[in-house]
Amino acid sequence: MLLLNIHKLLSNSLKANSARLNCLSFIVSAMLQHRTVNLVILSTSDDGKDVSNETRYRRLQDFFLNAKLCYQSIGSFILSRIPKPPEGYTLAMDRTNWKFGRKHINFLVISVVAGSVSIPLVWKSAPAED
């Protein structure tokens, strides 16, 4: 039921290939169900198809490697789901550094603040400082 509702919301708001929308809907519903972004765990969710977890895992990998989505549409979709405060939105800009092994990865992120949560709308990978 959750998967169908998410798919309906996304397909009404985003212009994308049907297979990509199905996969994105699956990812969002699985993340909500499992409360993680770990693809191995997400691939154990039931999507109504009679396939192995390994096949589902490979589809998730393929989605992140090859999917082309309009980030402006995604940002508009996210903003349409957040109630607008009377004083307007508060935007936050942050640069964060993650370390992947020995490699530093920098992101510049602009988020909308909704209560005590900050929801990323736009992000850009920045050159790492060594």
Both 61 and 22 in one domain: the answer is yes
Both 64 and 90 in one domain: the answer is no
Domain boundary among 45, 69, 93: 69
Residue of 126, 115, 73, 123 lying closest to 93 (CA atoms): 123
Both 11 and 39 in one domain: the answer is yes
The pLDDT value recorded for residue 19 is: 87
Counted domains in the chain = 2
Both 48 and 89 in one domain: the answer is no
What span, in angstroms and rounded, lies between the C-alpha atoms of 102 and 1?
43
Both 100 and 57 in one domain: the answer is no
Both 8 and 64 in one domain: the answer is yes
The pLDDT value recorded for residue 18 is: 86
What span, in angstroms and rounded, lies between the C-alpha atoms of 26 and 19?
11
The Cα-based distances of 100 to 8, 95, 105, 125 in angstroms read: 36, 16, 7, 14
Determine the structural domain holding residue 105 and report its residue range.
Answer: 82-126
Q: Is residue 93 part of a domain?
A: yes
- Token code pair at residue 51: 């396939």
Q: Is residue 75 part of a domain?
A: no
pLDDT in tens, 7-53: 898 888 888 788 888 999 999 999 999 999 999 999 999 888 888 99
Q: Is residue 77 part of a domain?
A: no
Whole-number average pLDDT of the chain: 87
Both 87 and 35 in one domain: the answer is no
Both 64 and 6 in one domain: the answer is yes
Residue % of the chain over a pLDDT of 90: 38
Q: Is residue 98 part of a domain?
A: yes
